[in-house]
Amino acid sequence: MLQEFFQLGEQRKYWSKEDKILLGVSGGIDSMVLLHLMHEVAKQTGCIIGIAHINHQLRMESEEEERYLENFCRENELPFYSERWLESQTTKGIEVKAREFRYAFFKQIMKEHSFTVLMTAHHLDDQAETILMRLTRGSILRNYSGIKAEQSFGSGRLVRPLLIFSKDELKVFAKQQNIVYFEDSSNHSDLYFRNRIRHHVIPYLKEENTKFLKHAAAFSQQISLADELIRETISVRYDTWVTKVADGWQLELSALTKESHSFQYFFLQFFLQETLIKEKIMINQEQFEALSAILAQAAPQKTVMLEKGWRFIKEYDRALLIRPTEIAADAFTLTVGEGIFLSETEWLGLSSLDQPVAVPEEIEHWAEAERWISVETGLPLHIRHRKDGDRIALTPTLTKRLNRLFIDKKIPNSSREQAWVILTNHNRIIWVPKFANSHLSIPAETDKIHYRLLYKTKE
């Protein structure tokens, strides 16, 4: 095993003389075999290895394991880093929480002590278990590739060099080399999903086909290659169709919706991976199917609510992934000579011929629009967002529902929600900046023009 391990590591460049390699060692048979193998590699190549250990305080053996590893490292002049998990009494989601704590500790040690590689002892059985768990729970294609042999991590790389060996092979090697290890009693419990797969599913599949683990590894490799090909195909167009916006991301749909269903499906997966998943916002299969479905629907506008208040919004020829934002004030009152910020990017001022309004210096170069209104306009003005039933007077005899006007102009829902409505003190709409003018903002007689509304926006 040592020769095969060394040849693979050299071939794949898992180590070099200049590397500092941190080993995640629990004390169980898998990680102790990894420690033994890498100890030999360090002697032959000159690379430096260190040991990182988490005492999860979940078992009676935990203290003994930590003492043994500390003594082993002292005797062999190896750096030893240990930490205790203080949340060990929790029961809900214990596996996930323990894993997050473990890898955060590894990342910290790598950064503080300049380690370039982290190695863990995942093996062929772990690979098969992971794939079966994800198939059972449901996932996206790339996750069915299982555990990656190598990936970026922290300030360096995460390498899993034992993925070519089965658990049985590790046991045989440990016995041959008289490697000391500790048995984790929790591995015998069916409380955990992975253990149930390990105890009741994997053995049955091995009986059906002795090459099952090899086939699982081959499946993992094929999925990885397929995902790599898909990502290479998609990434070129991704950079053209996706742009970062203030509150999230915008996806142009006009070109995407002309592609095949399969291309759209995997593009959407890639889009979510590059955006929300990196923000640690999870998308379940039901949500993904809903997002995929609305791309194919003829309806011009649709919204899907996602985790933590995020929204996926389809608006005509674009889609938006928008994070939750603080809602602006519901309403303002504006008097002559006054200017107010409606939001961080919008300002509104009202002046008269004899009472101008001062424009803040920092917004002088913002884009602007203006309306002149009659001296007969009832003041003060009221500013708020649109409400159901709002109507705007387009002529002295014709009014139209504001919502209908937005639909006719194909104004996206997100823009409708942010639109400001300016009303007289008698609640008659005189202006909807950017979108609509009321005939009330067009004085019939020039000599009655008295007020100037100035709207400035940061584009």
pLDDT of amino acid 402: 93
Question: Is pLDDT of 326 > 60?
Answer: no
pLDDT at 449 over 70: no
Residue 100 identity (one-letter amino acid): E
Which amino acid type is present at position 50?
G
Share of the chain above pLDDT 90, in %: 58
Residues 6+ apart with CB under 8 A from 260: none
pLDDT tens-digit series, residues 47-70: 999 999 998 766 667 788 889 999
User: 94-108, 324-338, 348-362: which range is least confident on average?
Assistant: 324-338
Query: 230 in helix, strand or coil?
Result: helix
Give the tokens for residue 424.
């007289």
Number of alpha helices (DSSP H) and beta strands (DSSP E) in the chain: 14, 22
Distance between CA atoms of residues 270 and 218, nearest Å: 23
- Mean per-residue pLDDT of the chain: 89
Percent of the chain with pLDDT over 70: 95
Position 166 pLDDT exceeds 70: yes
Q: What's the pLDDT score for residue 41? A: 95
Which helix (H) or strand (E) segment holds residue 212: the answer is helix 212-241
Q: How many CB atoms lie within 10 A of CB 404?
A: 11
Alpha helices in 297-422 (DSSP H): 402-408, 413-418
Q: Is the pLDDT of residue 178 over 50?
A: yes
Q: Set out the domains of the chain in order of their start, with CATH numbers.
A: 2-216 (3.40.50.620), 246-322 (3.30.465.60), 331-457 (no CATH)
DSSP string, 91-124: -TTHHHHHHHHHHHHHHHHHHHHT--EEE----H
Q: Which range among 73-82, 151-160, 407-416 shows the weakest confidence by mean pLDDT?
A: 407-416
pLDDT of residue 88 exceeding 60: no
What are 332's strand-pairing partners?
A: 383
What pLDDT score was predicted for residue 191? Answer: 83
| 331-365: b (≥16 Cβ within 10 Å) or e | ebebebebbbebeeebbbbbbeeeeebebeeebee
pLDDT value for 57: 66
Written as one string, the DSSP assignment of 192-203 is SHHHHIIIIIHH
Q: pLDDT by residue (tens digit) across 220-244?
A: 999 999 999 999 999 999 999 999 9
